[in-house]
Structure 1
Amino acid sequence: MRGRSRFTRLAVSLTAMAAMHAPLAAADPEPAALVAAHSRPFTFTNDTLAGPGAAFLEAATADSQFVLFGEDHYLHDTPVFAAALFRMLRDRHGFRHLVVEQDRIAMEDALAPPNRGDARRLGALAARYPNLFEFASDQDLELLALVGRLEKGPEAICGIEQALGPVRYFDELAAAAPNQAVRAEIAALRAHALTRDPDARYSVNFLSEAGVEQRLERLRADFGAKPGSRHDEMLLGLMRSAEIFGYYRRAEAGEPVALFNNTVREAWFKRLFMDCYRRAAKRGALPKALFKFGANHMYRGKNPTQAFPIGNFAHEFAIANGKDAYGLFVLPLTGAGYADVPDWLKVMLPATPPDQPVIVDLRALRPMQRLVRVPLKESDHTPFREAINGFDAIVILPGEKPATMMLSGLKGLR
């Protein structure tokens, strides 16, 4: 294109875009046939991935520094598949880290003796500090225990979520308080937190309460920990959590700040990830990690809640390191089959709900996306484009069911 004017280049680009939106030609394949041609079945257990889909996934991730696992939460088979995937990535491609949508202090505790590698002890820890683990299902805790057994070092699991349950933080901070006045304020905050969030479910009434962010800010100043120290970081983390949850409360009251609940949260993810990444990188080898988050956080590009998420950051960061990233949209199916699947997603799936796990190669469908989206109404085009360009494959898990919570005795979200 050298030598052409910018207007000529714009005309060429517009022509190319028009071609993407051109009507189907008589020789174009049917969308269902395209999807079928790029769908591969597989099987999995806690330990293994097998079948054509497993072989495809192994090859597709060979040059990846990061694999992004976009899930729905509190399900039984989804974390089991994540465990099998981590084993494969570790054994075949040298992955050594799991990055999760969990509290960073919780993950430090999960890797500390005697908890490390022991799902039962992790369950007892979750019961002691409800909300310390954002996801404390048996299957999630068993995944954390698996990674703790397989990998050494404090960066085997990186938790980059903001705090949900402050009581664990307050207990450690109280023990290190510089004077009685600070210790008394921590005790008052701890007691108030237990009053606001008394049950053992996902509950952030304390951290979202008006005025709590300011109290935490004063506590941080009075505590006087060295900037960047563990205790200062814990207090900063509580402040940031109160800020993020506060945006949600304020938006509910009509203030135009809902966007920041998403964008500030994603920025905090990135900050904590880079803290963990830099520590891991000091060991010499290029850190390779499996990310396990809600699907909204794993998009390449802008996600549906109008943030550039940690998933997009991971893609760009991998490129900067001369590598690739690979995004999986993990779709659980219950007994209802496709009944609850939106149309914009359904057109990327096999025509008939599968009876075994299947991976659909979106990279292969992406150049033909104008054909795949033909059945959709105009309002479904945006979420369709976000998904087919934001992920590299869809993993369908039929027969999914709720997670169990026997190890902790807590209640799940379902």
Structure 2
Amino acid sequence: MAQNHHTLLSVEKDSFTGSGWETIINAAQKSDFVLIGEDHFTNEVPFFCNALTSKIKFDNFICEIDPYSANIIQSKIKTLTEEQLQNYIHDFGNTFSFYALASEFDLLSKIVKSGTNVFGTDQILMIADRLICSELKLITENKAAKIIYQRIEDQSKDYFSAFLNDPSKPMYMLTEEYAKNLEEVSNLKVSTYEKEVIEKLKLTTKIYKEQNHHLRIQLMKNQLMEQYEVWKDKKNLFKFGANHVSKGESFLKIYDLGNLVDNIADSQYTSSLHLLIVGKSGSQGSPFKDFPESPIDSNSSNLKALKPFFDIVVNEKAWYCLEMLPIREKLENGEITTNDVQLSRIIKGFDYVLLIPKVTAGKF
């Protein structure tokens, strides 16, 4: 089935050519909800997004970062000179989540400068408390709060530096001292916005300490729907880890953002477009600067379900675009079967799977 239902994309400078690229562009032009599911920390996914956004103008870019960090970074890109922006990246860039990587930040900058609105839906990154408190201290009118925000900013930086030297050491967000600071500032007379951010910092801490994936997804859905009026009648590009954007049940056995957006599109008599982008070989970067790259192993637990698809990848220079609909129909009709639950979720959850022969690791 994969052999019979794939087309190719050829990389050409900053974009693609070929029938596979034409297929993706045509499908993306027809949908107001385009969702990209990725394996993080490679250069190829932002390259693809750059090419896509050069062809299609999106009103909103919805991504896997918290809404407060997204607003801060977006504001800095818009208002700072290039020299000021580079200095800001030097000071705070490692708190930008995936957008700490050079290729990802370049994509974000391009999207912001094109006039597309950027907003995030995720929990606050464990080290982004420093970024957020650096801004809260500038806007608060409470002197005691300003001192606490500065304390959190300084301590978060120190704890992260210690972690980079010894990963067994905790992040500041996980300490009792941090919890006491949050509690102290939440009891002060501060603005409504500050109280909102403080409560989200508390909720993020709870998610991390409990490793509560369900609560994280609830938060992501909640924050997406808080912005519903902004994106409901617009052209939207979503970029998240593949776990989050399946039409159906995610790889982690939960109904995630992709399922929510699919249902919203369905309620509007239209459909969302779900793309999975994955590398067969190569390497991916690390979430922390100077940590080692990780080799891509197509036989790993995360990727082995894709073996029937990877087997068709013989051209090392082209990307492969697999259409899932004909495979999905035969699976649902019982004409083909699989005992691999993850493979079934991929076939049912994505419209196209883009296979990259070899990916490269994103750099800070």
2:15 alignment partner in structure 1: 48
User: Which amino acid is 1:351 matched to?
Assistant: I
Aligned position for 1:347? 308
Structure 2 equivalent of residue 98 of structure 1: 61
Distance 2:10 2:254 in 1: 34
Q: Report if aligned partners of 2:131, 2:153 keep a CA contact under 8 Å in 1.
A: no
CA shift in 2, pair 1:393/1:98, >3 Å: same
1:302 is displaced (CA, Å) by: 2.2
| 1:67 corresponding residue in structure 2 | 34
State how far apart, in whole Å, the 1-side matches of 2:23 and 2:6 are. 10
User: For structure 2, which runs of at least 5 residues remain unmatched after alignment?
Assistant: 283-295
- Count how many residue pairs are aligned between Structure 1 and Structure 2: 341
CA displacement at 1:186 relative to structure 2: 2.8
Aligned equivalent of 2:90? 127
How far did residue 39 of structure 1 move? Answer: 0.5
Deviation of 1:195 (Å): 2.8
Change (3 A) 1:167 1:191: same
How far, CA to CA, are the matches of 2:309 and 2:80 in structure 1? Answer: 38
Question: Retained in 2: the 8 A contact 1:333–1:400?
Answer: yes
- Kept in 1, the 8 Å contact 2:78–2:112? The answer is no
Q: Deviations over 1:205-254 (max 9, x none)?
A: 2223357446424422324322xx3x233222212211211112xxxxxx
- Is 1:109 the equivalent of 2:72? yes
Partner SS, residue 309 of structure 2: coil
Q: Does 1:161 align with 2:122?
A: yes
Aligned CA-pair RMSD: 2.9
Return the letter of the residue paired with 2:190: G
State the alpha-carbon separation in 1 of the partners of residues 79 and 260 from structure 2.
29
Partner of 1:364 in structure 2? 326
Deviations 1:275-298 (A, max 9, x none): 3342456xxxx2121111111111
> Hey, what does 2:359 align to over in structure 1?
400
Aligned sequence identity (%): 20
Mark the runs of 5 or more structure 1 residues left unpaired by the alignment.
Answer: 1-33, 249-260, 406-414
State how far apart, in whole Å, the 2-side matches of 1:120 and 1:371 are: 60
| Aligned pairs (5 A) from 1:200-219 | 205-210=171-176, 212-213=178-179, 215-219=181-185
Does the CA contact (< 8 Å) of 1:132 and 1:163 recur in 2? Answer: no
1:295 aligns with 2:242: yes
Partner of residue 48 from structure 2, selected from 81, 86, 95: 81
Residue correspondence of structure 1 range 224-239 to structure 2 within 5 A: 224-226=190-192, 229=193, 231-239=194-202
State the TM-score, normalizing by the size of structure 1.
0.73
The equivalent of 2:289 in structure 1 is none
* Alpha-carbon distance in structure 1 between the residues aligned to 2:351 and 2:15: 22
Offset, 1:348: 3.4
Q: What is the deviation of 1:85?
A: 1.8
Residue identity opposite 1:361 in structure 2: E
Paired residue secondary structure (1:102): coil
Bigger radius of gyration: 1
Distance 1:399 1:343, change over 3 A: closer
What are the superposed Cα offsets for residues 377-413 of structure 1, whole Å, 9 maximum, x if unpaired?
x4xx2112111111111101122111132xxxxxxxx
Aligned counterpart for 1:139 among listed residues 103, 112, 116: 103
* Matching residue of 1:276: 227
Which residue matches 2:276? 329
386-395 or 231-240, which deviates more = 231-240
What is the match of residue 194 of structure 1?
157
Partner SS, residue 129 of structure 1 = helix
Post-superposition CA distance 1:109-133 (Å, at most 9, x none): 3332654698886554333114431
Distance 1:200 1:403, change over 3 A: farther
Match of 2:253 in 1: 306
Measure how far apart 1:46 and its partner are: 6.8
| Structure 1 residues 60 and 305: alpha-carbon distance in aligned structure 2, compared to 1, 3 A threshold | same
Aligned to 2:112: 148
Q: Which stretch shows the higher mean deviation, 196-205 or 342-351?
A: 196-205
Deviations 1:41-64 (A, max 9, x none): 012457533211012112333432
Contact 1:116 1:145 in 2 (8 A): no
Q: 2:109 and 2:140 mapped to 1: Cα distance?
A: 32
Letter of the structure 1 residue corresponding to residue 263 of structure 2: E
In the other structure, the counterpart of 1:263 is 214
